[in-house]
């Protein structure tokens, strides 16, 4: 392998924003990593709602562009200055820029971590973005005074990839997690994962009233909301005074402009719109967060639910399934 070595690889790209039909499997030349970069041959790539936001233009990308934010595989080459990885290492990552829907790629090494031998490539690909999201939410994005065992939190989309991991993590922390989902079957999955209470928002659309009943009128200390527009008002109405509203996704649409006076009227509420990649901005932070996630998975505290598997060539169907919200747990593309 020389410094000019390249290979033809399969990559999923889009030429313009739109529906799943915009996803095209093409061949491109992938070369060697530059300084601070690594080349990985993927075994599996994770599927996430952020991929849909990139495809449909909610989060704009320059065109044409590849998609996919997480993957796992084997290191094929490392660039100058990369010391934490070596050729042949098993590795996993959640990292910008998009491009994980590929047989191989070059990317910044900063957020790429060695994958423990007892964690499979499928699990590694499925857990990095979702697991690290659950980590930064429950461990780093905290209400006034933090979270202690016995505190109650509300977590929307509790049967999704992030949600099922968060249910397990919250239980391990001793938290009383109230999870919402769109069917009785999904609610049962959240309950089995560790949710203390579940609410089917289709049969109980006024979930805030149910939250107040569960908490004997107090409300919750924090709401973790990846649904967006549809749950916004109810989420605010579920919070206790000085509670924290964490909006970290837009599955049902973008939240409309916020009147700050609403936060005052509903109890001096706090509001944040965090992103995973702000937390992963340094090598040290990426490794510390991944170490905690790996430890939780290795000792069996967290089970990563890989429920959907698609060949890379079936990426269009994978996106259709995600948008229809018929999926549960995590999904991966296999290379």
DSSP code of 160?
B
Chosen domain end from 220, 240, 273: 273
263 shares a domain with 295 = no
Residues 6+ positions from 197 with CB-CB distance below 8 Å: 176, 177, 178, 179, 214
Give 3-state DSSP helix, strand, coil % of the chain, rounded to 5: 30, 30, 40
Q: Which two tokens stand for residue 310?
A: 């698609």
pLDDT one-digit tens code per residue, 223-268? 999 998 999 999 999 999 999 999 998 878 889 899 999 999 999 9
| The predicted structure's pLDDT at residue 1 | 40
153 shares a domain with 111 = no
Phi, psi of 13 (to 5 degrees): -130, 160
**Using an 8 Å Cβ cutoff, are 156 and 225 in contact?**
yes
* Angstrom distance (rounded) from CA 75 to CA 85: 8
The pTM of the whole model exceeds 0.85:
yes
Q: How many domains would you assign to the chain?
A: 2
Residue 1 within any structural domain of the chain: no
Tell me which residue range forms the domain holding 293. 7-130+282-334
**Using an 8 Å Cβ cutoff, are 71 and 60 in contact?**
no
| The predicted structure's pLDDT at residue 2 | 40
Residue range 192-215: average pLDDT? 96
pLDDT one-digit tens code per residue, 291-304? 999 999 999 999 99
Residues 6+ positions from 34 with CB-CB distance below 8 Å: 79, 80, 106
| The predicted structure's pLDDT at residue 4 | 63
pLDDT one-digit tens code per residue, 53-111? 999 998 899 999 999 999 999 999 999 999 999 999 999 999 999 999 999 999 999 99
**Using an 8 Å Cβ cutoff, are 275 and 253 in contact?**
no
Comparing CA positions, the residue from 274, 317, 270, 8 lying closest to residue 132 is 274
Phi, psi of 237 (to 5 degrees): -75, -10
251 shares a domain with 233 = yes
Residue 30 within any structural domain of the chain: yes
* Angstrom distance (rounded) from CA 192 to CA 225: 20
DSSP code of 104?
E
Phi, psi of 273 (to 5 degrees): -125, 80
pLDDT one-digit tens code per residue, 129-163? 999 999 999 999 999 999 999 999 999 999 988 99
Would you place residue 3 in the very low, low, confident or very high pLDDT band (cuts 50, 70, 90)? low
192 shares a domain with 115 = no
Q: Which two tokens stand for residue 122?
A: 């499928």
**Using an 8 Å Cβ cutoff, are 214 and 195 in contact?**
no
* Angstrom distance (rounded) from CA 200 to CA 193: 16
* 167: CATH: 3.40.50.720
* Angstrom distance (rounded) from CA 194 to CA 70: 25
Residue 137 within any structural domain of the chain: no
Find residue 77's DSSP bridge partners: 39
Helix (H, G, I), strand (E, B) or coil at 195: coil
Find residue 113's DSSP bridge partners: 92
- Mean pLDDT of the chain, nearest integer: 95
DSSP code of 329?
B
188 shares a domain with 150 = yes
328 shares a domain with 269 = no
Residue 117 within any structural domain of the chain: yes
């Amino acid at each position: 392998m020389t410094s000019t070595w390249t290979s033809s690889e399969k990559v999923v790209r889009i030429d313009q924003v739109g529906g799943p039909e915009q996803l095209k499997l093409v061949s491109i030349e992938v070369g060697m990593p530059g300084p601070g970069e690594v080349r990985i041959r993927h075994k599996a790539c994770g599927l996430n709602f952020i991929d849909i936001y990139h495809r449909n233009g909610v989060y704009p990308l320059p065109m044409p562009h590849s998609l996919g934010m997480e993957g796992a595989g084997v290191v094929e080459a490392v660039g100058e200055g990369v010391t934490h990885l070596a050729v042949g290492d098993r590795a996993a990552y959640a990292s910008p820029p998009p491009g994980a829907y590929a047989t191989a790629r070059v990317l910044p090494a900063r957020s790429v971590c060695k994958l423990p031998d007892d964690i499979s490539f499928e699990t590694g690909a499925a857990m990095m973005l979702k697991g690290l999201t659950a980590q930064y939410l429950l461990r780093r994005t905290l209400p006034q005074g933090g979270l202690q065992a016995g505190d109650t939190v509300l977590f929307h989309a509790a049967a999704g990839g992030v949600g099922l991991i968060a249910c397990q993590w919250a239980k391990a922390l001793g938290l009383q997690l109230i999870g919402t989902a769109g069917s009785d079957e999904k609610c049962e999955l959240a309950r089995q994962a560790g949710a203390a209470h579940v609410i089917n928002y289709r049969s109980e659309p006024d979930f805030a009233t149910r939250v107040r009943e569960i908490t004997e009128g107090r409300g919750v200390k924090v709401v973790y909301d990846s649904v967006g527009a549809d749950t916004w008002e109810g989420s605010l109405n579920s919070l206790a005074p000085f509670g924290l509203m964490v909006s970290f996704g837009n599955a049902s649409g973008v939240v409309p402009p916020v009147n700050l006076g609403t936060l005052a009227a509903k109890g001096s509420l706090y509001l944040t719109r965090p992103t995973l990649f702000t937390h992963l901005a340094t090598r040290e932070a990426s490794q510390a967060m991944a170490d905690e996630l790996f430890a939780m998975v290795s000792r069996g505290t967290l089970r990563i639910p890989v429920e959907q598997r698609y060949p890379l060539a079936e990426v269009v169907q994978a996106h259709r399934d995600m948008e229809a919200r018929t999926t549960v747990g995590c999904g991966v593309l296999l290379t």
